[in-house]
């Protein structure tokens, strides 16, 4: 299995608070991705990174920001959490564009 | 806009049967197509990747085919086992190198 960890694995927070999720990889892959998975919507891309300090928006980026200061870490921040951001968040990595993506175990976030 | 559809949404078969999962996409301009499985409460595991120039890929009891012109892919599972129970997701990589996902087929293999 690709070395990808996510932290925290579960989080409960209140509306309006900032939340940061962390993805850490040990594979030295260039590309990193954040997805959310919701019933009825499948997986949707939030943001992705193609290198240190290089990031771009995905399909559902509003209300989210990302940062990548090191190859191995990709942070997802919910600037002011809303109930609509209750979801399961997955991090993924790949060696190149369009290549196989390897997924982390996910973070379950509940916004009350 | 590329759309990916997986039918059926759920499938239940007895152990030992061969089965086929279907994936269709609306735009044939794809870079590749990927199949994943997801176990309950877990992340996704890559199963097979078919390049746009390929017709099929095989891994063990799994065989995936690709027909770009008709916008279809199938995942064939031979001699199904209870451990194959999971949700199977299909995704196409579009011309912008983004994965566009289907909603998945939930497969239950009955012992």
User: A53-88, pLDDT tens digit by residue?
Assistant: 999 999 999 999 999 999 999 999 999 999 999 999
Q: Mean pLDDT, to the nearest integer, of A44-59?
A: 95
Other beta carbons less than 10 A from residue B53's beta carbon = 8
| Both tokens assigned to A44 | 């949707």
- At A41 the pLDDT is 80
Establish if A74 touches chain B: CB-CB under 8 angstroms: no
- At A89 the pLDDT is 98
Gap between the Cα atoms of A99 and A101, Å rounded: 6
Gap between the Cα atoms of B64 and A53, Å rounded: 37
pLDDT per residue as tens digits for the range B52-98: 999 999 999 999 999 999 999 999 999 999 999 999 999 999 988 88
With CA atoms as reference, report the closest residue to A93 among B103, B99, B59: B99
Give the best residue of A92, A98, A108 to mutate against chain B (max B CB count within 10 A): A98
pLDDT per residue as tens digits for the range B14-45: 999 999 999 999 999 999 999 999 999 888 99
Question: Is pLDDT at B13 greater than 70 in this prediction?
Answer: yes
Of A42, A44, A100, the CB nearest to B46: A100
- At A2 the pLDDT is 62
Question: Is pLDDT at A30 greater than 80 in this prediction?
Answer: yes
Residues in chain B: 111
Of A43, A98, A105, the CB nearest to B93: A98
- At A17 the pLDDT is 97
* Residue A1: band (very low, low, confident or very high) from pLDDT cuts 50, 70, 90: low
Establish if B104 touches chain A: CB-CB under 8 angstroms: yes
Establish if A39 touches chain B: CB-CB under 8 angstroms: no
Residue A107 backbone phi and psi in degrees, to 5: -125, 125
Question: Is pLDDT at A29 greater than 70 in this prediction?
Answer: yes
Q: A59 or A89: whose pLDDT is higher?
A: A89
Establish if B34 touches chain A: CB-CB under 8 angstroms: yes
Contact list, B87 vs chain A (CB under 8 Å):
none
Contact B28, B36 (CB under 8 A): no
Across all residues in chain A, what is the average pLDDT?
95
Largest CA-CA distance found in chain B, in angstroms, rounded: 43
- For residue A21, give how far its alpha carbon lies from the nearest alpha carbon of chain B (Å): 16
Q: Which residues contact B16 (CB under 8 A, 6 or more apart)?
A: B79, B80
Contact list, B46 vs chain A (CB under 8 Å):
100-102
């Amino acid at each position: 299995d690709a070395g990808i960890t996510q932290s925290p694995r579960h989080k409960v927070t209140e509306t309006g608070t900032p939340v940061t999720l962390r993805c850490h990889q040990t594979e030295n892959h260039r590309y990193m991705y954040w997805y959310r998975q919701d019933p009825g919507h499948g997986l949707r891309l939030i943001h992705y990174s193609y290198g240190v300090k290089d990031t771009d928006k995905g399909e559902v980026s509003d209300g989210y920001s990302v940062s990548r200061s090191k190859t191995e870490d990709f942070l997802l921040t919910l600037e002011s959490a809303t109930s609509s951001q209750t979801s399961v968040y997955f991090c993924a990595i790949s060696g190149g564009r369009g290549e196989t993506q390897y997924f982390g175990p996910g973070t379950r976030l509940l916004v009350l | 806009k590329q759309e990916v559809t997986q039918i059926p949404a759920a499938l239940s078969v007895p152990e030992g049967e061969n089965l086929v999962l279907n994936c269709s996409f609306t735009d044939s301009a794809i870079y590749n197509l990927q199949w994943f499985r997801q176990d309950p409460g877990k992340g996704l595991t890559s199963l097979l990747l078919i390049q746009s120039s390929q017709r099929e890929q095989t891994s063990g009891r799994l065989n995936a085919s690709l027909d770009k012109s008709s916008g279809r892919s199938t995942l064939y599972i031979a001699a199904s086992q209870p451990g194959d129970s999971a949700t199977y997701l299909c995704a196409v990589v579009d011309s912008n190198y983004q994965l566009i996902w289907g909603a998945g087929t939930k497969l239950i293999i009955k012992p």
